[in-house]
Homo-oligomer: A and B are copies of this chain.
Amino acid sequence: MSSRPLPTVATDALRHVLDGRWGAARDAARAEFGGALAGPVYELDREAYRDRVNEQMRMIASSGRVHETSNIAGGTPDVGAGVTLFEMVSHFDLSLTVKAGVQWGLFGGAVQALGTERHHERYMKAILDFDLPGCFAMTETGHGSDVQSLGTTATYDAATGEFVVHTPHEGARKDYIGNAGRDGRMAAVFAQLITEGRSHGVHALLVPIRDEAGNPCKGVTLEDCGPKAGLNGVDNGRITFDQVRVPREALLDRYGSVAADGTYTSPIENQTRRFFTMLGTLIRGRISVAGSAGSATKNALAIAVRYGDVRRQFAKPGADDEVVLLDYLVHQRRLLPALATTYALHFAQGRMVEALHDIATGAVTDDHSQRELEARAAGIKAVATWHATHTIQTCREACGGAGYLAENVLPQLKADTDVFTTFEGDNTVLLQLVAKGLLTDYRDQFGDLDTLGMMRFVAGQVASYVVERTAARSLVERLIAATPGRDDDTDVLDRGWHLKLFEGREQHVLEGLARRLRRATAPGADAFAVFNSAQDHVLRAARVHVDRVVLEAFVAGIDECADPAVAELLERVCDLYVLANIEADRAWFLEHGRMSAARSKAVVAAVNQLCGELRPHAVTLVDGFGIPDEWLGAPIAIGAEARRQRAAQEHDATPATEPVAPA
């Protein structure tokens, strides 16, 4: 293992690399959003907090940045800048991010993607201006993840030319709906569409829920969800419909329409395929959530690393000066691998936003890229949000009691992001969706599982897709080819070895899973029992796939980095990411003969060594994220602790008027 000391890297140079393709959008956000509205707050009561978020919404609407990301003014919408905007806003207020996501991403996105021209003309400007606060009323109390089973009905009444929207029982009420608790005027309601006595599956309709005075519309019962763990600047609520009538035009009819006489037509024949096409609108939301999780993780790491770089505890043996926390191996072990993983996910997120942008703007048009992106969005959302939960928790603990104080922001970061793992698709469900995509390659081996109804379990939310090699394929193949034959002879830092190990793991797990699931095709097999006994393998297959995708994105990102010093630092960060990942999963590599015991111990030792090598660069690495101090907010990270340490040292250095000897 090499140990050449790393060069010093200028923070600006690193930030420039990390800012990537939408660096201008990032700089604009840093420059435009400041003052009283851009920074963490705490202990506002709920109504005041919601008022503040509404003010922030208007600040963003009036900046015009959201309008640029839509096609309202004609021209090509800058979708990448839009997602980047959410990512930047997440550095200073996650309630704002979610409120904006509901208004512009989900509600606006549904009108845009599922509606037709008359809907766009009538509503889009008011939506972008935040003059028409709206809801994305999909989730029900009884059905969060399983959207296909929603209970709300929209029954067409040909006699009056209206749809009757109805909630049949408590479990079918719309629940957890952002903007429904207080501000929303209209909702895109997802309901089972029924006409001429037949059900055509889930469709969306625009239903007014409050009048101009803020009172509930007739037949609509609105309820506030009440306080939550976090995100209390968002007014989540519940909506119950009692035979609410809306005109036929309320149906967002791009993928299914009802004629005046009740005849149903759709450009997509198959009901399941139609359903999943409509759900495609969720992709952008998932990508945004992954980005927000990344931003919150970066804030937490910036706070913990900067504090750990000045905070001292316990004197060295035989010396008076106390040791800086981040000089302890265990402190490095807690923070630096998490920081390295955050870097890896940053590059994976960047690739994903580029893919979304290129598809949304028509630069890339193939169906295959679209399905690859769906898988990527689901998988990275799951991995990034779990990483956020874990890392923010670790950062809180690393800051001790100071990290528990609201003023130091970590409590809010933890509480706000906590729901990310289970909203916009529960992570467990999303990983099953990823696994399903991976399995389509094995379809021949075990027949059409969709027919068996079993794949409903493997993934409830998209029809099917093919997962491919990443764009970095040729680079990856070149690196793998350059690796010597016997693994134990290879340097543990050899990137080709890493890539080969990740690839081999993915292939092995996936093949094993396919073999297990094939049992479901045996005569008389209990398909659910077969699936259920393999469910841990299903999640694992998805997880190791995402790990490979993330590593390849990181490798490709470094390959494209033009600054040699930055690239060298990033290589070392990538080493730590990949070795910490292998270390955490080394039981599997050992069980499957992919590593010897000696090699496994060498990996553990290498993680320790890399922590030591990166420790002097830790502050540079978090400063490279380019989070303004004003957004970061935590006193312990922006001067208070450094000032206290100086004062203590000055006090200790000043001789007392009467010297005190220890007894």
Q: Which residue numbers of A lie inside 8 Å of B, CB to CB? A: 42-43, 45-46, 139, 141-146, 149, 151, 168-172, 175-176, 194, 197-201, 225-230, 264, 271, 312-318, 322-323, 327-330, 333, 389, 393, 396-397, 400-401, 403-407, 410-411, 414-415, 418-419, 421-423, 426-428, 452-454, 456-457, 460, 527-528, 531-533, 535-536, 539, 586-587, 590-593, 597, 600-601, 608, 643-645, 647-648, 650-651, 658-663
Contact = CB atoms under 8 A, between A and B. Distances in A.
Nearest to A533: B329
A395 to B, nearest CB: 12
A264 B198 CA distance: 94
Given A198-B662, A271-B663, A397-B421, A532 B648 contact: no
B423 A401 contact: yes
B411 A663 contact: no
A228 B318 contact: no
B405 A226 contact: yes
A149 B316 CA distance: 12
A436 to B, nearest CB: 13
A648 B597 contact: no
Contact of A146 (B314, B318, B608): B314
A418 B406 contact: no
A314 B457 contact: yes
Contacts of A428: 330
A592 B597 CA distance: 7
Nearest to A431: B330
Contacts of A421: 397
Contacts of A226: 43, 405-407
Given A647-B171, A663-B264, A404 B419 contact: yes
Identical subunits present: 2
Contacts of A175: 401
A315 B587 contact: no
Contacts of A315: 146, 149, 456
13 contacts: A42-B227, A139-B401, A142-B312, A142-B648, A197-B661, A200-B663, A201-B663, A228-B404, A318-B527, A404-B419, A411-B418, A587-B587, A591-B600
Given A142-B648, A318-B527, A397-B421, 15 more contacts: A43-B226, A141-B644, A149-B314, A169-B644, A198-B660, A199-B660, A199-B661, A201-B662, A229-B406, A314-B460, A329-B533, A329-B535, A404-B418, A411-B415, A414-B418
Contact of A662 (B171, B271, B323, B423): B271
A317 B456 contact: yes
Given A393-B389, A400-B426, A528 B317 contact: yes
A94 to B, nearest CB: 13
B330 A452 contact: no
A421 B661 CA distance: 36
Contacts of A643: 170
A145 B539 CA distance: 40
Contact of A142 (B171, B406, B414, B644): B644
Contacts of A405: 225-229
Contacts of A531: 317
Nearest to A457: B314
A144 B313 contact: yes
A194 to B, nearest CB: 5
Nearest to A414: B229
B419 A401 contact: yes
A401 to B, nearest CB: 5
Contacts of A400: 144-145, 422, 426
A365 to B, nearest CB: 30
B532 A329 contact: yes
A532 B330 CA distance: 8
A300 to B, nearest CB: 13
Contacts of A427: 397
B644 A170 contact: yes
Contact of A586 (B532, B587, B651): B587
